[in-house]
Amino acid sequence: MTGFPFLPARVEIKICGLTCFEDARFALAAGADYLGFVFHRGSPRHVTPAAAQAIVARLGGGVRAVGVFVNVTPCEALAVARQCGLWAVQLHGCELPGPFAGYPARLWRSVSFREGRPSPDPSEWKAARLVVDAFAPGRQYGGTGRVADWAAAAVLARERQVMLAGGLTPENVAAAVAEVRPAGVDVSGGVERSPGKKDQERIRAFIRAVRGPGVAERKVTRR
């Protein structure tokens, strides 16, 4: 028994904050498991449901797209999920667990730690994944570049499926994976030239840092 029952043989990778087809196609071809689209209007990486729908449709079947939502109702998130064909709905705001109990879509829930205490309480959420992000003061909802609490995330990752986010880069992600041992990692700003505009070399470097230099890129058919 390793003490890490949820540690997969292969750490999964989500490239988040995508805003255009070219970046999404490259991330998928480079080996990303999930493509993240931010529907929060206050984010510099915001995309409309129509734009995300068009990108996912052009990528073809089997794309695991994750929609990031902030302070939405269950109905609002579900409508976008169905429109865009999302794999999962990721809640990143102050949503309460009650309205999302028995939710018909796959749920991911963001969690941050302040002085070692998680917010919101992970035990209150029946989420397929917990996305551990850095604590951000005020009305900031991720994408800040701050590094998450890796020590606290490592404890949580022993009990739940954790996607580690928060300030990850090609330079620090290998150390983060070694310390936290998450099910997956989630990156946005760490592989960008500017908010919402990805850097292909940094995406490649990030994925190689997680999986090693022998990663083979896959072909994605353009539609």
Give catalytic residues, as residue numbers.
Answer: 16, 133
- Please state, in angstroms and rounded to a whole number, the distance separating the CA atoms of residues 14 and 35: 6
Q: Are 13 and 190 in contact (CB under 8 A)?
A: no
Dihedral (Cα; 198, 203, 206, 211), 10-degree rounding: 150
Q: How does DSSP assign 139-198, residue by residue?
A: S--S-S-PPP-HHHHHHHHTTS-EEE-SS--TTTHHHHHHHH--SEEEESGGGEEETTEE
